[in-house]
Structure 1
Amino acid sequence: MSADALHSIYVLLLGFSVAGALATGYQVFTARPASFNIFGDGTGVAAVAHVPFLVFAAPFIIMRNAIFVRRSGLDNFVTAMVATVTAGLWSVLSGKFVVAAVAMLGLA
Structure 2
Amino acid sequence: MTPEAFNTFFSICIGFALAGALVNGYQAVSQRPAGFGLLQDGVAPKTFAAVPFLVFAAPFIIMRNTLRGMRVESRRVEFVAMATVIAGFWSMMSGTFFLMTLRATGVLS
Q: TM-score w.r.t. structure 2 length?
A: 0.95
Match of 2:33 in 1: 33
Aligned sequence identity (%): 42
Structure 1 spans left out of the alignment, 5+ residues: none
- Distance change >3 Å, CA 49–CA 76, structure 1 → 2: same
Write the deviation string for residues 19-39 of structure 1: whole angstroms up to 9, x where unpaired. 000000000000000000013
Give the Cα–Cα distance (whole angstroms) in 1 for the partners of residues 14 and 2 of structure 2.
Answer: 18
Match of 1:95 in 2: 95
Match of 1:6 in 2: 6
| 1:20 equivalent in alignment to 2:27 | no
| 1:43 equivalent in alignment to 2:82 | no
Match of 2:107 in 1: 107
Give the Cα–Cα distance (whole angstroms) in 2 for the partners of residues 37 and 20 of structure 1.
Answer: 17
Structure 2 spans left out of the alignment, 5+ residues: none
* 1:55-66 mapped onto 2 (5 Å cutoff): 55-66=55-66
Give the Cα–Cα distance (whole angstroms) in 2 for the partners of residues 7 and 40 of structure 1.
Answer: 36
> RMSD of the TM alignment (CA)?
0.9
- Structure 1's consecutive aligned runs of 4 or more residues displaced over 3 angstroms after TM superposition are none
Give the Cα–Cα distance (whole angstroms) in 1 for the partners of residues 42 and 87 of structure 2.
Answer: 24
Cα drift, residue 3 of structure 1: 1.1
Cα drift, residue 2 of structure 1: 1.0
Count of residue pairs the alignment pairs up:
108
